[in-house]
């Protein structure tokens, strides 16, 4: 007999639940939120207690109609949306739509999708949580008020289509302020001094200068360094003290959401968004052959390190059986929760140690396996004994200089046989080379000395891992929001990632400056953290939604009014500067255009003079960059070329413009281009190397009379069989370089990897290419021939990031490299997409 309807968020959960419950329940999915505030208006009645107007979204009308149809003949409705605030809001909206009079609406929480958890939850349902719902509604209304009230200001002052966010804009501020720190940072010179020493017994060792005349060493000039080195070399060094002690390194706790995102970014090079997408699949269930859909991990949005007693018991048994009693502590390890932790769910862990990474590897994609392995290793390590080191600190006196050497020897591996955390960039390893056995006052022999000039470095730019940590430490956002924050600020083009680091764009810096200037309270990091605490208080029933909204809006309304009057208008009058227009004498102002900031004459429209500029290092002074003279000559008229900046970057242009309109890409000037220019096949004139929206090409120098163009060869042939084309460099709509066949559209081969034209040692074709991994700095050599017997990948540059113990990534099928829709060129004639390879 059917016992009722279970409503979940994701359709992917349905298979897993049906395997456990059979035909006893109807199971349907809402596919996320079914209702939201209207897009066309604010949707909040501020004067009437901040009453919100919710409506079924257009995309979910069919879903809601189907839910109503299924629920109509049933009395019991179990709403099993995700066990967090967003899930609670979805549950309330579902109840409003299908909870007709007489229906028994109940809430069930699946912290993991194991059979035992599902059956226990259905046997012990609860009521809808009004406090969690109120907290989510308060967050939604706060975000709507900030977004829908500030965004129109940005449209009128900067550019139409811009947006602001209560939390996302604070994240942008953090990135912009770090960039400003880097610009203003003044490096300070210092010198490291060390000596290679030898005792009576091996090995030799290196000791670094620690103190001079009893004070901390501070060497700032080369002359000072040379003088100290000379004193050390003339001295007779001897051992002052030897301190030996045993140190322990405890294992880290199992993953919370933020720690999983940070570690996956450092060791697997996954974005926060990708990490959460894969974790969602592992939570909802993976098809494991005859077993069917099976959940592999617990709920992945959590800030708790708590583990169920039953899971701890299973884990201790696993460690005892697989690693021995020496690796198992006497009692389970406990981990202190952070002050802000809600502790609603367990830590992220495997649902059962029966599903080892090895046993499920054939059912998982490579990325799924790597993330599951990471979660598995961390969970197992969390309940193992600490690693033990014998650490020695050796002090040596040379003249009045105290030199110090430290060494560590791993005495017991402990948890490190299973898991080691990935290091941050430039983070030193804890392990040091062993030192010789020496005694106090023993004299040593100097083998050599070294003085090395160094300069202090500014704080590094944020990576995804370090930005998530910064948000977490400052109390900005919650586990469920970190991934969306990082995605949103990139989609809005306020920040960009270059070589794994966040850089603010010109647009991001402009918007941040205006928002911080006009809404200092809303954009304040501490204020944002306090708002998160108030939302937590509402979720716990300790604060009221209405009072929180009223307190916020009272000051916000006055800030809005003031900003409308005083915020700098970059579309109209612009931001004043001290630069004077050389044409009319009026001051130049900074304005915002489609391609970023530029200098424009304040006398516009009478004077239309504009200039490019950049901000100098340090205090941020403006340096004009417009028509920089060069010693290059125009190939058509012989006049001097000047360097300009355009939407595709810097380029050379003839100073005779507009009479002569010759242009040339900066890197393809005649002196720097080794590619011989071919004759035009139509008129016989020499072709010129040009750059367009989609990359480099040969264009007839007789343009516009002759408009012939030819693709530019990279020197590598197309790797596909029966194709006589060559690979040419192109650009996608997003500006990313890719390489495609010159015979397009007859041949649609394309790849992101740079062809070298070198011969493959396996298949013999001239189809080798270089693959660059931006996050790790790794460059690999691989074959583009899809029919090559082996995917060749030979490292030609050692990655800078330490390898982890998770399964290695193997690059294969290079020509089939996938690209996101945003990166793919328009699907038009003559514009190749590198998203796939289609053989003729």
292 in Cβ contact with 484 (< 8 Å): no
- Please tell me the distance from the alpha carbon of residue 367 to that of residue 457, in angstroms, as a whole number: 35
Rounded Cα–Cα distance for residues 697 and 192 (Å): 51
**Preceding amide of 605 cis, omega within 30:** yes
Strand duo 663-665 + 687-692: pairing: unpaired
Q: How many CB atoms lie within 10 A of CB 551?
A: 11
The two structure tokens encoding residue 740: 């495609």
- Distance (Å, rounded) from C-alpha 276 to C-alpha 291? 25
Q: What burial letters (b/e) apply to 297-319, b meaning 16+ CB within 10 Å?
A: bbbbbbbbbbbeeebbeebbebb
**Strand, helix or coil for residue 163:** coil
Element (DSSP H or E) covering residue 215: strand 215-216
Q: How many residues does the chain have?
A: 840
Parallel, antiparallel, or unpaired: how do β-strands 793-797 and 778-783 relate? antiparallel
Residue with tokens 């007859």: 746
According to DSSP, residue 268 is labeled I
Pairing relationship of beta strands 610-611 and 51-52 according to DSSP bridges: unpaired
Measure the CA–CA gap between 596 and 570, rounded to whole angstroms.
11
Chain centre distance of CA 467: 8
To the query of whether residue 299 is one of the catalytic residues in this protein, the response is yes
716's tokens: 């590598």
Gap between the Cα atoms of 590 and 158, Å rounded: 11
**In sequence order, what DSSP letters do the residues of 60-80 get, joined into one string?**
GHHHHHHHHHHHTT-SEEEE-
Taking phi first (over 0 means left), then psi (-120 to 50 degrees means alpha), and beta for anything else, what does residue 405 get? Answer: beta
Please identify which of the residues 25, 299, 327, 389 carries the catalytic annotation.
299
Residue 197 CA to residue 446 CA, distance in Å, equals 5
Q: How far apart are CA 550 and CA 541, in angstroms?
A: 18
For 324-428, strand residue ranges (E) read 387-398, 401-412
Task: List the end-to-end C-alpha distance of the chain, in Å, as a whole number.
Answer: 56
Nearest of 486, 465, 379 to residue 423 by alpha carbon: 465
Which are the contacts of 149, defined by CB distance < 8 A and separation ≥ 6?
42, 556, 560
Which residue pairs from 511-516 have beta carbons closer than 8 angstroms and sit at least 24 positions apart in sequence? 511/154, 511/158, 511/162, 511/164, 511/169, 511/172, 512/169, 512/172, 512/173, 512/176, 513/176, 514/154, 514/157, 514/158, 514/567, 514/568, 514/570, 515/150, 515/164, 515/169, 515/173, 516/173
For residues 37 and 44, the answer to whether their CB atoms sit within 8 Å is yes
Question: Rounded distance, CA 494 to CA 820, Å?
Answer: 20
Residues 6+ apart with CB under 8 A from 659: 637
Q: Which two tokens stand for residue 52?
A: 């919100």
Reported in sequence order, the residue ranges of 101-148 that DSSP labels E, i.e. its strands, are 104-107
Q: Cis peptide before 284, with omega less than 30 degrees from 0?
A: no
Is 453 in contact with 222 (CB distance < 8 Å)? yes
DSSP annotation of 657: T
Residues 6+ apart with CB under 8 A from 613: 579, 590, 597, 598, 599, 622, 623, 624, 625, 626
Burial degree of 745 (CB within 10 A; 0-12, 13-18, 19+): exposed
Structure tokens at 670: 């005649």
For the annotated catalytic residues, the residue numbers are 299
């Amino acid at each position: 007999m059917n016992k009722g309807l279970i409503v979940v968020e994701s359709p992917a959960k349905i298979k897993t639940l049906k395997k456990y419950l059979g035909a006893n329940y109807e199971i349907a999915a809402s596919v996320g939120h079914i209702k939201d505030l209207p897009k066309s208006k604010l949707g909040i009645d501020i004067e009437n207690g901040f009453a919100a107007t919710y409506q079924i979204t257009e995309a979910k009308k069919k879903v809601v109609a189907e839910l109503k149809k299924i629920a109509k003949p049933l009395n019991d409705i179990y709403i099993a949306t995700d066990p967090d605030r967003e899930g609670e809001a979805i549950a309330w909206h579902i109840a409003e739509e299908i909870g007709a009079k007489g229906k028994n609406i109940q809430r069930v929480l699946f912290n993991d999708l194991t059979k035992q958890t599902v059956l226990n939850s259905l046997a012990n349902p609860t009521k809808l949580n009004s406090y969690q719902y109120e907290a989510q509604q308060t967050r939604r209304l706060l975000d709507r008020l900030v977004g829908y009230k500030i965004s129109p200001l940005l449209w009128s002052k900067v550019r139409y289509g811009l947006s602001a966010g209560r939390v996302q804009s604070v994240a942008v501020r953090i990135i912009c302020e770090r960039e400003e720190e880097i610009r203003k940072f003044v490096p300070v010179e210092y010198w490291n001094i060390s000596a290679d020493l030898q005792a009576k017994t091996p090995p030799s060792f290196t000791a670094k200068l620690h103190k001079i005349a009893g004070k901390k060493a501070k060497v700032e000039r080369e002359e000072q360094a040379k003088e100290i080195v000379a004193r050390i070399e003339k001295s007779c060094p001897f051992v002052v003290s030897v301190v030996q002690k045993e140190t322990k390194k405890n294992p880290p706790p199992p993953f919370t959401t933020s720690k999983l995102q940070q570690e996956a970014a450092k060791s697997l090079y996954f974005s926060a968004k990708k990490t959460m997408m894969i974790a969602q699949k592992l939570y909802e269930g993976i098809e494991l052959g005859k077993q069917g859909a099976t959940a592999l991990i617990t709920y992945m949005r959590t800030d708790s390190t708590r583990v169920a007693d039953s899971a701890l018991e299973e884990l201790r048994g696993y460690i005892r059986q697989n690693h021995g009693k020496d690796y198992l502590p006497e009692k389970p390890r406990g981990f202190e929760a952070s002050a802000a932790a809600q502790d609603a769910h367990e830590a992220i862990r495997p649902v059962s140690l029966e599903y080892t990474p090895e046993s499920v590897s054939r059912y998982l994609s490579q990325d799924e396996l790597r993330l599951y392995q990471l979660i598995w290793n961390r969970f197992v390590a969390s309940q193992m004994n600490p690693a033990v080191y014998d650490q020695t600190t050796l002090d040596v006196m040379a003249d009045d200089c105290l030199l110090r050497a430290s060494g560590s020897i791993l005495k017991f591996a402990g948890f490190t046989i299973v898991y080691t955390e990935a290091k941050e960039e430039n983070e030193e390893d804890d392990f040091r080379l062993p030192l010789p056995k020496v005694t106090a006052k023993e004299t040593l022999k100097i083998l050599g000395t070294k003085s090395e000039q160094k300069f202090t470095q500014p704080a590094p730019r944020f990576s995804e891992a370090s930005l998530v940590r910064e948000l977490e430490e400052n109390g900005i956002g919650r586990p469920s929001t970190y991934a969306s924050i990082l995605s949103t600020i990139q989609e809005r083009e306020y920040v960009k990632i270059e070589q794994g680091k966040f850089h603010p764009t010109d647009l991001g810096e402009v918007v941040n400056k205006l928002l911080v200037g006009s809404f200092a309270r809303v954009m304040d990091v501490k204020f944002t953290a306090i708002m998160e605490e108030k939302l937590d208080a509402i979720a716990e029933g300790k604060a009221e939604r209405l009072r929180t909204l009223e307190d916020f809006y009272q000051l916000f309304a006055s800030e809005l009014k003031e900003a409308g009057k005083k915020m700098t208008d970059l579309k109209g009058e612009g931001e004043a500067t001290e630069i004077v227009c050389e044409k009319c004498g009026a001051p130049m102002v900074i304005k915002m255009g489609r391609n970023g900031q530029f200098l424009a004459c304040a006398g516009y429209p009478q004077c239309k003079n504009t200039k490019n500029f950049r901000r100098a290092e340090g205090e941020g002074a403006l340096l004009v960059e417009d028509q920089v003279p060069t010693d290059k000559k125009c190939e058509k008229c012989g006049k001097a070329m000047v360097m300009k900046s355009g939407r595709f970057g810097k380029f050379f242009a003839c100073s005779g413009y507009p009479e002569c309109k010759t242009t040339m890409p900066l890197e393809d000037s005649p002196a720097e281009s080794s590619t011989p220019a071919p004759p035009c096949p139509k008129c016989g004139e020499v072709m010129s190397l040009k750059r367009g929206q989609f990359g480099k090409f040969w264009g007839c120098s007789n343009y516009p009379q002759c408009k012939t163009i030819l693709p530019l060869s990279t020197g590598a042939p197309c790797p596909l069989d029966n194709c006589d084309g060559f690979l040419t460099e192109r650009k996608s709509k997003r500006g990313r370089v890719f390489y495609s066949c010159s015979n397009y559209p007859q041949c649609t081969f394309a790849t992101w990897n740079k062809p070298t034209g070198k011969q493959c040692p396996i298949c013999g074709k001239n189809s080798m290419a270089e693959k660059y991994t931006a996050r790790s700095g790794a460059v690999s050599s691989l074959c583009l021939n899809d029919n090559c017997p082996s995917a060749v990948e030979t490292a030609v540059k050692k990655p800078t990031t330490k390898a982890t113990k998770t399964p290695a990534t193997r690059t294969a099928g290079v020509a089939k490299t996938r690209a996101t829709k945003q990166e793919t060129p328009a699907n038009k004639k003559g514009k190749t997409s590198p998203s796939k390879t289609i053989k003729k």
